[in-house]
Amino acid sequence: MQLAMVGLGRMGANIVRRLMRDGHDCVVYDVNQDAVATLAAEGATGTATLADLARELQTPRVVWLMIPAGLTGGVVDQLADVLEPGDIIIDGGNSNYRDDVRRAAALKPKGIHYVDVGTSGGVFGLDRGYCLMVGGPDEAFARIEPILATIAPGRGEIERTPGREGDFSPEELGYLHCGPSGAGHFVKMVHNGIEYGIMAALAEGLNILEHADAGIHQAEHSAEVAPLEEPEFYQFTIDTPKVAELWRRGSVISSWLLDLTAAALQENPTLEGLAGRVSDSGEGRWTVKAAVDTGVPAPVLAASLFERFASRGEDHFANQVLSAMRLQFGGHQELPAGDVLEAGGRKADT
C-alpha cells in the first residue's frame, strides 16, 4: 500500500527502505532535501512541501511522522491543514503519550485519525525489523496493518512461546494494537523505563566485577574512607569483556542489551574515551512519573534514572551539603580529589 514518510533521519529512512523492499509505495518529505533526494534515488517519490506530499497521496492518506518529539506538535498542525477527513496521521517518534491523547482529541472534529506507534529497534531495525506498539482507533489500525506487518520483524527465528499454536498473532509478528490513542506510546514509555533498569543492572554488575581486585589495591586506601574489610576476598582481576561475551551463552541474563555490551567491550575493552555522562531522552522520566501517579512502587526504574542524573553531576549540591554536615558535626575535612578516588582501589580518569 501507499505511505508517506515525514522525517528521513536514520530511523525514518530505514523504515522507508524496509517498506519499499516489501513492495510498498513510499512518498517522502524532509526539511533536508538532500535526504529526500537520497531516498528518491532509491525509488521513493520525493516531495518539497507538506502540501506537495498531500497532493501526491491517494485518499484516504496515511502519513507517518518520524521526527524529534519536540517538533511533532507543529508538524501535526501543519498536516491537519492539508489533510482531509478519513486520513491518518501516524506518530512513530518518541512522543509523550499525553501529547497523543491531546492531539487525537484535537484532530477528531476534523475527522482525521491519529495513531501513535512506539517504535523500538535502534540502528539495527532495517534488517532486524522494528517492534511496534500501536495506539489509536480500531478502524485506523486495521487500515495500516499491512504497513505495520512489513516494518515489524515478523516471524523470524525466535522460538515460539510454549502454549501458542496455530496462526501467528500480531504480537508474535512484532506489532500490537495496545489500545486507544496514547496506548502505543504508553507501552513504549514503559518499555524504555524497563530498558533503563536492565541497562543499570548490567552496568552495576560489571562495575562490581571491575572492583573485584579491590583487595590488591588496599594499601593505597586513605584514612577518611572506610577500609576494605577482608581484602583476601577481593583478589580477582576479572576480564570483564570476556565475561560479557560468556554470559551471552546459555546464561539466565542473556539479552540483546548484553549482546551490545559485549560488542562495546570487544571494541573498546577499557571504555577509554567515554566520560560516563549518561543522557536520557524522556521516557525514563515519564515512566517514573506514571509509577508515582498510579501508586506503583518502581524503585529499580527510578534508581536507574537517578544514576543517570548523578552521572551528569546533578548530585553536586546534595553532596556538598553532606560534606558540610560532616564538617559541622565531626570536623571531618573532605579529602583532596586524588586521595579519595584512590579509595576504591583505582584512579578515575578525570
Catalytic residues: 188, 195
State the chain's maximal CA–CA distance in angstroms: 76
Q: Which residues contact 267 (CB under 8 A, 6 or more apart)?
A: none
d(CA 258, CA 241): 11
How far apart (Å, rounded) are the C-alpha atoms in residues 150 and 62? 15
> In this complex, which beta carbon is closest to a second copy, that of residue 20 or of residue 201?
201
Candidates 66, 121, 148, 150: give the one binding a second copy (CB under 8 A): 121
Query: Given the rule CB under 8 A, which of 17-25, 48-56, 79-87, 265-273 is the region that contacts a second copy?
Result: 265-273
DSSP letter at 168? P
DSSP string, 115-161: EEEEEE-GGGHHHH--EEEEES-HHHHHHHHHHHHHHS--STTPPPP
Residue 290 contacts a second copy per CB under 8 A: yes
| Contacting a second copy within 87-116 (CB under 8 A) | 96-98, 101
Closest to 307 measured CA to CA, from 189, 187, 194, 199: 199
Segment contacting a second copy (CB under 8 A): 47-55, 71-79, 80-88, 276-284? 276-284
Element at 349 (helix H, strand E) = none
With 0-12 CB in 10 A as exposed, 13-18 as middle and 19+ as buried, what is 318? exposed
80 touches a second copy by CB under 8 A: no
**Closest approach of Cβ 57 to a second copy, in Å?**
27
Nearer to a second copy, 219 or 329 (CB): 329
Cβ closest to a second copy, residue 3 vs residue 131:
131
Using the rule CB under 8 A, which residue among 82, 126, 201, 216 binds a second copy? 201
Site for a second copy in 152-171 (CB under 8 A): 152-153, 156-159, 161-164, 169, 171
Nearest distance from residue 47's CB to a second copy, in Å?
A: 26
Nearest by Cα to 347 from 235, 248, 270 = 270
Rounded Cα–Cα distance for residues 107 and 144 (Å): 18
Query: Contacts with a second copy: how many residues (CB under 8 A)?
Result: 174
349: phi then psi, degrees, rounded to nearest 5: -85, 5
**Which residues within the stretch 18-57 sit at the binding site for a second copy (CB under 8 A)?**
none
Q: Which amino acid is at 340?
A: V
Q: Is 303 in the site for a second copy (CB under 8 A)?
A: yes
Q: Smallest distance from the beta carbon of 129 to a second copy, in angstroms?
A: 5
206 binds a second copy (CB under 8 A): yes
Q: How big is the CA angle at 117 (ends 257 and 111), to the nearest 5 degrees?
A: 175
> Scanning residues 55 to 74, which ones bind a second copy (CB under 8 A)?
70
Residue type, 152: A
Question: Which of 204, 216, 219, 220 touches a second copy by CB under 8 A?
Answer: 204
* Binder of a second copy out of 86, 137, 146, 180 (CB under 8 A): 180
